[in-house]
Amino acid sequence: MNILLLVAHGSRREESNLEVVSLSKQMAKFNSNPFDKVMPAFLEFASPSIPEAIEKCNAMGANSVTVLPYFLSAGVHIDRDIPSEVENASQDFPNLNITIANYFGSREEIAEILMKTALDIK
Amino acid sequence: MNILLLVAHGSRREESNLEVVSLSKQMAKFNSNPFDKVMPAFLEFASPSIPEAIEKCNAMGANSVTVLPYFLSAGVHIDRDIPSEVENASQDFPNLNITIANYFGSREEIAEILMKTALDIK
């Protein structure tokens, strides 16, 4: 079983966390989706945390987890915090193959979507 | 003259701010771009700040500025901080028509791009 973890920073503002939950549900609906499940996880301020989510994946019988960082830029969370949490989880669950995907902000499409956003003024 | 301000949070990490500068340059190159200029601005930790950028737009002879928030979720920065800075600038430069576009994270394309990011594992 392959599980995709959509990892967001997390916010003290519950609506922001719910946006991430909603996004993970949208992603789960794609036909081109090769994952058996898409789940949200949060670095801070919300649950499940990354270790909690990975523990849950293991309990569900996953053999592969892809961690997808929903971050705009490659700061300390991308360079250090997420890899460190994933490394710890890998030691706890040695049978789980955990991969970290590139961060969202690395995508080339972003400039084009930003321009569309600028032109769609309400 | 119409100017687009790409407003990011700003980071203590200079590389993250440079990603935003680079993005604003990419956006300026689009053929479909109706703006005479695309400039970066930052809420915190980097310059120009929003007031500095708007002052510069005014000095350049702009009559219209579109503020485009490069944020993933609609937190306090979107609800309060950016509108407040724009409101103050509007009072300082009454001849400038300043509009705030929707925030980046509101775009429907994001779920699809996230799925592409997940599948493009290096």
Q: Which of B70, B111, B122 sits opposite A27 (nearest CB)?
A: B111
Considering only CB atoms, A13 lies closest to which of B13, B75, B99, namely: B75
Amino acid A33: pLDDT: 79
Report the alpha-carbon distance of residue A14 to residue A12 in Å, rounded: 6
Query: Tens digits of per-residue pLDDT, A51-102?
Result: 999 999 999 999 999 999 999 988 889 999 999 999 999 999 999 999 999 9
Q: Return the H-helix or E-strand segment holding A107.
A: none
Average pLDDT over all residues of chain B: 93
Q: Do B73 and A120 touch (CB under 8 A)?
A: no
pLDDT value for A122:
37
Instruction: Nearest chain B residue to A27 by CA: give it.
Output: B111
For residue A121, pLDDT over 60 is answered with no
Q: With beta carbons under 8 A apart, name residues in chain A contacting B19.
A: 72-74, 105
Residue-wise pLDDT tens digits, B21-67 = 999 999 999 877 889 999 999 999 999 999 999 999 999 999 999 99
Q: List CB contacts (< 8 A) between B115 and chain A.
A: 27, 30, 32-33
Rounded CA-CA distance A68/A35 in Å is: 12
pTM for the whole thing? 0.91
Q: Which of A115, A116, A120, A122 to mutate to test the interface with B (most CBs of B within 10 A)?
A: A115
Quick one: which of A80, A15, A102, A86 has its CA closest to B113?
A102
pLDDT tens digit sequence for A17-52: 999 999 999 999 987 778 999 999 999 999 999 999
Q: Which residues of B touch A5 (CB under 8 A)?
A: none
Chain B nearest C-alpha distance from A77 (Å):
12
Compute CA B68 distance to the chain's CA centroid, rounded to the nearest angstrom: 4
**Dihedrals φ, ψ of A63, to 5°?**
-110, -10
For B58-114, the pLDDT digits (tens) are 999 999 999 999 999 888 899 999 999 999 999 999 999 999 999 999 999 999 999
DSSP bridge partners of A49? A42
The pLDDT of residue B31 is 75
Assess contact for A23 and B114: CB atoms under 8 A. yes
